[in-house]
Every structure is written in C-alpha cells, then in structure tokens.
Amino acid sequence: MKLKGFLAVLSVMIVVGFVLGYAVKSATSANPPVHDAADVGVLESGAGMQQVSQQSPDDLPRSRENAITRAVARVSPAVVGINVTEVRQFRDPFHSFFGDDPFFRQFFGDRTYKQEVKGIGSGFIISPDGYIVTNDHVAGNAAEITVTLTSGERLKAQIVGSDPVTDICLLKVEGRNLPSLTFGNSDEIIIGEWSIALGNPFGLFEINDKPTVTVGVISSTGMNLGRVGNRFYRDMIETDAAINGGNSGGPLVNGLGEVIGVNTLIFTGGQSSTYVGYGFAIPINKVKSIVNELRKSGKVGRQGYTGFEAQVVDVNIARYFGLARAEGIIISEIHRGGPSERAGLRVGDIILEINGKNVKSDTDFLGILYDSKPGETWEMKIFRDKRTISISLRIDKDPQ
C-alpha cells in the first residue's frame, strides 16, 4: 500500500515538472535572453556593420564627412592660384669696379639690364565682384598677374593697392557672383584648434585647378618675427599645417571655414626652402583694416607722429641707468610743442612697453609705430629714475 502511494506521488511530480519545463521553454523563446553591456555592444556593432554593408555607394562619402571636410568644401571654390611676371633690374658685377664714373660709362655704357622673372603664389576672393587678397611679396611688384579659378578660368588681375610693411596686396579681377570667403575673428583663436591651409604650393594648382589642402592646429599666436627688409611681421599666427613655396597669400581657415589668417612665412631652420615644421600667417583682423585702406585709396597712410627721437638701449646704457637688462629704446630728443612734450616725456626716459606689447628693440618700436594711426593713444610703461611709471601719448599727424 505504501509502495503504491509513493509511486502515485512520483508520477504527479513528473507530470508537474514536465508542464513547468515546457512553460519556461516557451517563455524563453518568446523573450530572448538579456545580455550584459559588453554583449549588447557586440550585438549593436554587428547590426551596425550589417547596416553599413547595406548602404548604397552614394551614402558612403556622407558617412565620412566632418568639420574639416565641410570647411574645405565651403572654402575651396574661392581659393585661387596666382602667376606673376616681374621686371627686375640687374647690374653687371663688373660695374662695381668702375662705380658710376662717367668717364668709364662712355666706353662701357650703362652696365644694368632688365629681366623678366616669373613667380607663383596663392590668394582668395573676398567679394563676389572680384577683390582678391594675397601677399605683397607675391604680387606687389608684378608687371603682369594671372589668376586661376577653380573653374579653370584664367583672368588678368590688376593691383588695387599693396602694403609692403604688412605684406598685404589687394588685387581685382573682372567678375560677377564669384565665390568669396567669410572673415573670422583672429582675436578669438584658440590654441590647439584645427587650422586648414589652402593654396598653390609648387604651382600644383595648375595641374587640376584645385587648391592643395593641409591640416594642423594653431600652435601659437602673437609671434613677433622681426623685420625682413621693409616688412614687419608682428603678432603672427603659428600653425603646423604644412605651408610651402607657393602657399604664400592663401587662406588659413578654422573648422567653421572662416578665414583667420593669410599664409605668409615658413620656418626652415636655414636647412631648406620647404616646410620643416611650422608656418606663420598674418592675423585676419590686421588684414581687414589694411584691405579697407587699400580699397579706398590704394595705399596705407602712415603719418603717425610721436614728437621724439630715440635710440636702442645697449648694455652700457642699461648699466648707466640701472636697468636690469639691455632692452627698450631711450628717448634722446623731445620736439618742442609735440605730443611727447605734452604727454610729459623726458630725454632719458626708456620705453619698455606700448599698449601691452614689449619694446625690446627698435624693430619692435617701428612695428608698433607703423601699425598706429593719428588719433590713437599709446599706454606706455616708462623706466625713469630707476622705477617704472605709466604715461599716455596721443599720436598726432606728421606735420611734414
């Protein structure tokens, strides 16, 4: 009797277990198992890969677009290649033996001759009616200028005006509804942000009528590179985007496609004439003011008058006046009735800073002076009687 009861209970348990197992299996099939985050990621990646494989070829380029490619697409149509012809005058090296002596000239004649010199550069259109910005050292002395557009069209350009001091030249071609670029604000540049250089290195623009694009970051700002001939390179933008011969005059743009500078110089370390690490661009805020003047009058007026004469502070002068380092310029003469006399400057004052910019040499001072206009005010730090004082000087117009 007991055995029959045990078998009956066992039979019931087997039936119940079978029913429960079948229910669990059905529920599991209806609701897939939950995986942890890693497993979900793998599944989603697999689904994504399957989705990409199903994309049409036309969709693939759009999936690779980013801020840089969009900026390049926006900017490229307004970048131009520039070919120039200059007429330069050369002098026979034997001329130095005779000088400009009229006696020898009657036998040997004028030992000078002219020769055409070809050059290349870059530029960018800033208005739909055909104004183009480039460097003075690219086109400022050109006798003939040809501009190549990305459409393949070649146009003759005329010089509207050029400024050797800032190395900016403004050209004009005949055109309507031309693509043009937007100016950014170079005072708002962020160190480390993307920078894109476009131009015509080595004349490559001529091959396919497209600018060459290089990408880097803003490495530094406010770089004072001194004087080259009659040009002053101050407050330059430094970038590691590759800039080579022929890039001069082309735009340096940010990730929004706004022009933040004009590519102008490269650092070579004296080893070569090609890019070895860093390039420099003129800040666009400076370019804006220069271009506005060139557009109005064809030149940049520099009639600023300070009313003093000065010389560089050397080691002996620094020691005599108790200055820790040989830097700045020392006032040697004050013009009577001039702005310096009215400001309270004295002979022997040493100018160390103007409007927050250090004055370490006469090149620094001249660069600041050439950037100034009548009516502007200089806030200066002056070393006098072994202490530093502040003096304000209002720039007048040159009376001459």
Catalytic annotation, residues: 137, 167, 248
Reported as half-sphere exposure (CB side, CA atoms, 13 A), residue 21 has a value of 6
Burial profile 320-336: b = 16 or more Cβ within 10 angstroms, e = fewer: ebebeeebbbbbeebee
Q: Is the dihedral of CA 221, 222, 228, 229 positive or negative?
A: positive
| Residue (of 120, 111, 112) closest to 86 by Cα position | 120
d(CA 193, CA 266): 19
Q: Which amino acid is at 320?
A: Y
Number of neighbouring beta carbons within 10 Å of residue 305: 18
Q: Are 171 and 132 in contact (CB under 8 A)?
A: yes
Strand (E) or helix (H) holding 271: none
Compute the C-alpha angle 211/213/217, nearest 5°. Answer: 145
Strand, coil or helix: 260: strand
Q: Are 214 and 242 in contact (CB under 8 A)?
A: yes
Place of tokens 């006098």: 384
Q: Is 124 exposed, middle or buried (0-12, 13-18, 19+ CB in 10 A)?
A: buried
Q: Is 178 exposed, middle or buried (0-12, 13-18, 19+ CB in 10 A)?
A: buried
Provide the β-strand partners of residue 132: 125, 171
Q: Are 291 and 133 in contact (CB under 8 A)?
A: yes
d(CA 368, CA 359): 9
Q: Which amino acid is at 162?
A: S
